[in-house]
Structure 1
Amino acid sequence: MRERKPEFYPHCISSREGGPISQAPATPPAQPAAAPAKPSPKIPRNAGKARARKRHFVILFSVFMVVIAPLLATIHYLYFVAEDQYASSFGFAVRSEETSLASGLLGGLASLSGGSSSSDTDILYEYIQSRSLVEKIDDQLDLETIYSRPEADPIFAYDTSGEIEDLVRFWNKMVHVSYAAGSGLLEVEVKAFAPEDALAIANAVIVESTTMINDLSAIAREDATRYAREDLEQAVARLKSAREALTRFRSETRIVDPSADIQGQLGLVNSLEAQLAGAIIELNLLLETARDSDPRVETAQRRISVIQTLIEEERQKFGLGRGSDPESGQDYSTLLGEFERLTVDVEYAQKSYLAAQTALDAAQADAQRQSRYLATYARPSLPRSSQYPERFQLSAVTGAMLLLIWSIGVLIYYSLRDRR
């Protein structure tokens, strides 16, 4: 690089000590005075240290009071105070006996007495949670004593000062029923503070459920038998009435069977007509050889006249019923129609009677067997270890809920503070 030479300023001369010696500079030309500059704002080099305020201590105290302290109390109660609960589970379904009957009427009767297993399962689902079952099992096992046994556990134990409604509500907490509507299966989980109590309650539920299903079947069978007996009584009355009407018809008309009577009358008319034809032939032959005044001709003519009169009388019988009033009598066609109607009524009444008798026999036979029963596919067993209360899950849920409540409270506090 090229070395830069120092510049010489005639108005500035350095002394030996190195200090500058000022000379009177040449008078510069006059310039206008500049406006004074505005002072710049002072900016601190470093921000001050943050200091804890009163609200911060309040928030910390609220965390302890709202979240930590209740959570610790919950954990302490669950792990050191709450009694172990044992669960015994079982499953069952309602099954109905299928009967194959040849008659459609009997098939309908079997359907009436058998019922629907799906509706029975719905009834059983409600029955297990009902007051009726709780009262029966309480009479057998003393549920109040069983559920109030852990005296040091006031939260999960039953309070003996409660009424039956309180016991039913506690029962529904300790007995969980799940129902699969598609398959018709019921699963029941029974909880108690002792394994033996859980097993005893589960067995009692099965026994009472079986009794209830048997009672429903008995009621259905009694109804079916009663209805069948009533139908039989009506069929008997109908058959008696039809036979009495037919007997009355035969007594009034003096005709046992109009069709057979007509056949007899037709046979007699045919015989008379044959005799008439023979008499006419004889008369014609006689007229060829004898005079009109011949007594034989008169006899033949009288014979023909008598036969014709008989034929006419027999033919008139087809127009009026025998033994009836000619003015108000009925012809054979009307009598025959009335007879056929009465005969059909008797036949129908007989068939109805036979069907009703068969239905009653089937209902009585069905009443002697169990058409619906409780099929237990999973028997209850004695639990080996406690499953409840679910301490870890309850602690986690309690902590999450407390933290959520505290967070909402803090957000509300700061939102109100910012509005001031």
Structure 2
Amino acid sequence: MASSQPRPDEAPDAKASQEGTARLRPVPDTQEGNPPLTKRQLRRQARRADNAKAAGTLPPAAAPANRPKTKRELRREARQAKREAAKARAEADAEPVVVRPLAPAAKVRKRHWGLGLAFVLMVLAPVAAASWYLYTRAADQYASTLGFTVRSEEMTSASDLLGGLGSSLGSGASHDSDILYEYVRSQEMVRRIDQRLDLRAMYSRHHETDPLLSFDPEGSIEDLVDYWDRMLSISYDAGAGLLELRVLAFDPQEAQAIAEAIYDESLRTINALSAVAREDATRYAQLDLDQALERLKQAREALTAFRVENQIVDPSADIQGQMGLLNTLQGQLAGALIELDLLRDNTSETDPRLTQAQRRIEVIRARLEEERQKFGAEGSAPGGGSYATTISEFERLSVDREFAEQAYTAALSAYDAARAEADRQNRYLASYIQPTLAERSQFPQRELMIGIVALFGFLAWAIGSLVYYSLRDRN
């Protein structure tokens, strides 16, 4: 076709752009046997078209043979050319798409049925069995709560009371609370409460209908202790020494009675511990007191035997009497001598009064000599021995008695102090929660137990499934 020159009123740029873009569009000519353009050629043609459009220098195109195109047609062709150029660039940049064959439709296999059956057996069946037993066979259980602590009352002394500085302080005996914590759970406690309340009959009442949660009446004492641990819950605060117990039974009155029995047995135990501690604190003081008392008795018995043997109560008093007698005799002798001197001055030698005065002086002197000999080694006391020996023995016995009395007084004071110290450390059981009486059953916790069964069953099923599929994939 021959090309014609465009008219001035037409848009040569738009027309040239449309014609140039149409000439550069990558359309593979598969009908004539030409090979398709490569990606590189397509990208090169797209870049050329873009550059020509931007510079407005598209190559001249053949003019239409029939009529000139309008501006609207030229704009439409330009837009079409732009879309085709963008499509060509996209096709050039696109990677080849690999089309894989479609997966076959899923269907249920034997392993799926086995997995579902395992879920039924390991999860649904245990949950159903637990629900049936707990709601149809399990007997209601009632709880009684008890709380107490061990206290030690430290009393003030008399000096503190007079000074106004004393105060009564109670401190928790944590070690005694530890003892009670172990004692409440011991076989001795179970045996004592069983003898008092017949625990076997209480806990085995529903054994025929509820064999899993009740006690077997033919069980041993060890079995009863294990069941006691299940029915007894203890909360222990070691810092404050507080013990809080929860007792379960199949009747609210029985639960309260068991809690009261626990409190009574704990009180008896604390009193026994206090008695033992008091006895230990005063044991040595009591031994010293007994020895001092025995020594005092022996000293007094020896002094009594001495007095009976010597027929004298107090040798010192007897000696004082003897000394008084000597003083009297000496006074009489002095008077007799004075009287004799007067007679000699006033009478003659043949006066009978002079002879009588001399005789009287001789008698007084003889008596003085006899009394003085009693204090010598050859003298005789009322008991037959000498006064020196008697007085020496008496003084020895008196010293022994005084020493025994002082030792007894000291031992008695030490014993009183030990008893006072033991009383200051006296222990007692203080109850801060009296045994309660339940109005409704709170145990067994059916929903919680069913949930636990479901949880463990599901975990076992899930772990088993994961292990099975792991081994299957490995094989």
- TM-score with structure 2 setting the length: 0.52
Instruction: Answer yes or no: is the 8 Å Cα contact 2:127–2:453 preserved in 1.
Output: yes
* CA displacement 1:86-121 (0-9 Å, x = unmatched): 100010011122133479xxxxxxxxxx99822211
Query: What residue identity is the alignment partner of 1:206?
Result: Y
> In the alignment, does 2:225 pair up with 1:159?
no
Identify unmatched segments of 5+ residues in structure 1: 5-41, 104-113, 243-344
Q: Secondary structure at the match of 1:189?
A: strand
Which residue is equivalent to 1:328? Answer: none
Is the Cα–Cα contact under 8 Å of residues 146 and 193 in structure 1 kept in the other structure? yes
The answer to whether structure 1 residue 173 and structure 2 residue 230 are counterparts is yes
DSSP-derived class of the 1:121 partner:
helix
Q: Distance in 1 between matches of 2:406 and 2:447?
A: 74
Q: Structure 1 215/45 Cα, relative in aligned 2: closer, same or farther at 3 Å?
A: closer
Paired residue for 1:361?
A: 416
1:231-288 deviation line (CA, Å, top 9, x unaligned): 224556789999xxxxxxxxxxxxxxxxxxxxxxxxxxxxxxxxxxxxxxxxxxxxxx
Return the match for 1:184 from 219, 241, 252.
Answer: 241
Secondary structure of 1:356's partner?
helix
1:79 is aligned to: 135
SS in 1 for 2:209: coil
CA RMSD of aligned residues (A): 4.3
- Partners of 2:411 and 2:153 lie apart in 1 by 23
Deviation at 1:46, TM superposition (A): 3.6
Query: How far off is 1:386 after superposition?
Result: 1.1
Contact 2:174/2:239 (8 A) holds in 1: no
Query: Residue 180 of structure 1 aligns to which amino acid in structure 2?
Result: D
Identity %: 51
1:268-279 superposed matches below 5 A = none
Which secondary structure does the structure 2 equivalent of 1:120 belong to? helix
Q: Deviations over 1:296-353 (max 9, x none)?
A: xxxxxxxxxxxxxxxxxxxxxxxxxxxxxxxxxxxxxxxxxxxxxxxxx999987664
Aligned partner of 2:151 among 89, 95, 98:
95
Change (3 A) 1:77 1:130: same
Report the equivalent of 1:64: 120
- Partner in structure 2 of residue 376 of structure 1: 431
Taking the TM superposition and a 5 Å limit, the aligned residue runs for 1:217-228 are: 217-228=274-285
CA contact (8 A) 2:151 2:171 kept: no
Q: Judge conservation of contact 1:218–1:367 (CA < 8 Å) in 2.
A: no
Q: Which residue of 2 aligns with 1:197?
A: 254
In structure 2, the residue corresponding to 1:88 is in which secondary structure?
strand
State the match for 2:464 in structure 1: 409
Task: Tell me which residue corresponds to 2:189.
Answer: 133
Structure with the bigger RCO (C-alpha within 8 Å, sep 6+) is 1
How many Å separate the matches in 1 of 2:401 and 2:193? 58
Whether the aligned pair in 1 keeps the contact of 2:151 and 2:430 (CA below 8 Å) is yes
* Aligned-pair CA distance for 1:418: 1.8
**CA gap 1:348/1:140 in 2 versus in 1, 3 angstroms:** same
Cα offset, 1:140, TM superposition: 1.1
Q: How many residues align?
A: 286
Superposed CA offset, 1:7-44 (max 9, x none):
xxxxxxxxxxxxxxxxxxxxxxxxxxxxxxxxxxx977
What does 1:102-113 align with in structure 2 at a 5 Å threshold? none
Secondary structure of the 1:97 match is strand
Q: Distance in 2 between matches of 1:207 and 1:99?
A: 25
What letter corresponds to residue 99 of structure 1 in structure 2? Answer: M
Residues 406 and 163 of structure 1, relative CA distance in 2, 3 Å threshold: same
Shift of the alpha carbon at 1:72? 1.2
Question: Matches of 1:80 and 1:192 in 2, distance apart?
Answer: 18
Greater Rg, structure 1 or structure 2?
2
How far apart in 2 are the matches of 1:387 and 1:226?
51
* Cα 1:115–1:379 shift into 2, 3 Å: closer
d(CA) in 2 for partners of 1:135, 1:154: 23
The separation in 1 between residues aligned to 2:172 and 2:441, in whole angstroms, is 38
In the TM superposition, residue 157 of structure 1 has moved relative to its aligned partner by 0.5
Distance 2:183 2:253 in 1: 23
Q: Which residue of 2 aligns with 1:252?
A: none
2:292 paired with 1:211: no
Q: State how 1:316-331 maps to structure 2 within 5 Å.
A: none
* Offset of residue 223 of structure 1: 3.1
Residues 214 and 388 from structure 1, CA distance in 2 versus in 1: closer, same or farther, beyond 3 angstroms? same
AA matched with 1:52: V
Query: How far apart in 1 are the matches of 2:171 and 2:282?
Result: 14
Residue 118 (str. 1) matches residue 174 (str. 2): yes
Moved more, 120-129 or 44-53: 44-53
Task: Quote the offset at 1:63 in angstroms.
Answer: 0.5
* 3-state SS of paired residue (2:285): helix
Mapping for residues 30-41 of structure 1, pairs under 5 Å: none
Matched residue type, 1:186: L
Give the TM-score normalised by the residue count of structure 1: 0.58
